[in-house]
């Protein structure tokens, strides 16, 4: 018979006997410092109240509110402000003078998302997007279907979301392109672009508002990542045009436990490359938010091959910005160009030509310069 051993010797490491698995090591998730990041208008508009969007969101997150609910409460301030003519109520209308709104939201921990596009009559499309997320098995509703859904969910449907200001600008634009004649496509495009350039040069509208949008992303102390994007879209667009804002992976993408990204600028360029999804996957591979965003901007640059979209040196003649945060609370704002070709900025302020983003942390809210990929401006 073999040598008898007692139970203690049998379990002793190095005895050469059957190993008994050790209890798993419990890794407790480290707390994360809350961060809210947004496009610059997230820290310019207050709709007559005491705080901006990022301040509101950060305060609610700090008080223990759901991160997405906090973000939406913040962006609602911008959507409802009639002075912000690129988002929500008073947003610059389409070519027929109708305000059509797009929005999306994503909840990282719940793995849920909702969006609306070409929505008319509702001042806060971000809340309708949330209703799509919470009350349907779908991710995206558009046009009349989105409006009908909003009505059934109890949202007030207004006949017209134009303000006196947005309607006045549309009438001026319409007058300049000679609406009494149907031009051939080339001449019509030329007339539209000329009218827009003239109105920018005369200070009637800011170039930044032509593609204006608010994107806001945040992380809470438990590591919960969420985001939302909302916009009135490209000013004077073809009715029914939908940009990148309500499209997941383009205008917004949130990967729970990884990071979040959103954008402003030329939506078509972002749609083609689905850059927010690319950024999230870069974060998943361990890239810093700045590097992840720069990689997406490089993809846009390479994909821009049409002559009408390029400067004489071959670079894009438009701008795109990304606002990025990872699961560690690190963040970055990046843009194709770090400067714009006009001084006038958000809220009518003469803020200089720097392209910016906004962020709120325990160190208070502030607006910072975006890191550029290219030198110069979209026009230079």
Cα-flanking dihedrals φ and ψ of residue 350, to 5°? -85, 90
User: What sign does the dihedral 123-261-240-188 (CA atoms) show?
Assistant: positive
Distance CA 274, CA 9 (A): 60
To the nearest 5 percent, what fractions of the chain are helix, strand and coil? 35, 20, 45
Distance CA 75, CA 228 (A): 8
Given the residues 124, 213, 230, 377, the one annotated as active site: 213
User: What sign does the dihedral 73-277-234-147 (CA atoms) show?
Assistant: negative
Distance CA 248, CA 352 (A): 32
Verify whether residue 264 is a known catalytic residue: no
3-state secondary structure of 2: coil
Rama region for 347: left / alpha / beta (φ>0; ψ in -120 to 50; rest): left
Q: Which residues are catalytic?
A: 213
């Amino acid at each position: 018979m073999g040598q008898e051993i007692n139970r203690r010797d049998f379990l002793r490491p190095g005895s050469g006997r059957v190993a008994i698995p050790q209890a798993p090591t419990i890794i407790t998730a480290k707390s994360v410092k809350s961060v809210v990041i947004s496009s610059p208008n997230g820290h310019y508009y207050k709709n007559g109240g005491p705080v901006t969007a990022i301040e509101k969101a950060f305060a609610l997150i700090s008080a223990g509110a759901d991160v997405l609910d906090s973000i939406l409460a913040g962006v609602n301030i911008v959507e409802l402000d009639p002075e912000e003519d690129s988002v929500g109520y008073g947003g610059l209308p389409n070519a027929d003078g109708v305000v059509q709104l797009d929005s999306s939201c994503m909840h990282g921990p719940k793995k849920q998302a909702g969006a609306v596009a070409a929505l008319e009559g509702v001042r806060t499309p971000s809340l309708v997007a949330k209703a799509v997320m919470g009350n349907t098995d779908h991710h995206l509703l558009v046009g009349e279907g989105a409006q009908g859904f909003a009505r059934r969910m109890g949202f007030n449907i207004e006949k017209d979301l134009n303000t006196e200001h947005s309607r006045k600008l549309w009438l001026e634009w319409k007058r300049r392109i000679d609406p009494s004649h149907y031009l051939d496509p080339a001449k019509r495009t030329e007339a539209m672009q000329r009218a827009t350039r003239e109105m920018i040069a005369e200070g009637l509208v800011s170039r930044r508002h032509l593609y204006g949008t608010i994107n806001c992303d945040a992380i809470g102390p438990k590591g919960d990542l969420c985001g939302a994007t909302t916009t009135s879209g490209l000013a004077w667009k073809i009715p029914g045009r939908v940009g990148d804002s309500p499209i997941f992976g383009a205008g917004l993408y949130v990967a729970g436990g990884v990071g979040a990204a959103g954008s402003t600028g030329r939506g078509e360029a972002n749609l083609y490359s689905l850059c927010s999804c690319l950024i999230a996957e870069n974060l998943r591979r361990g890239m810093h938010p700045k590097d992840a965003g720069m990689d997406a901007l490089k993809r846009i640059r390479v994909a821009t091959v049409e002559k009408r979209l390029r400067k004489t040196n071959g670079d894009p003649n438009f701008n795109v910005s990304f606002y990025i945060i990872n699961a560690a609370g690190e963040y970055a704002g990046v843009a194709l160009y770090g400067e714009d070709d006009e001084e006038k900025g958000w809220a009518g302020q003469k803020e200089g030509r720097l392209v910016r983003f906004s962020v709120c942390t325990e160190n208070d809210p502030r607006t910072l310069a975006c890191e550029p990929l290219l030198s110069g401006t979209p026009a230079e």
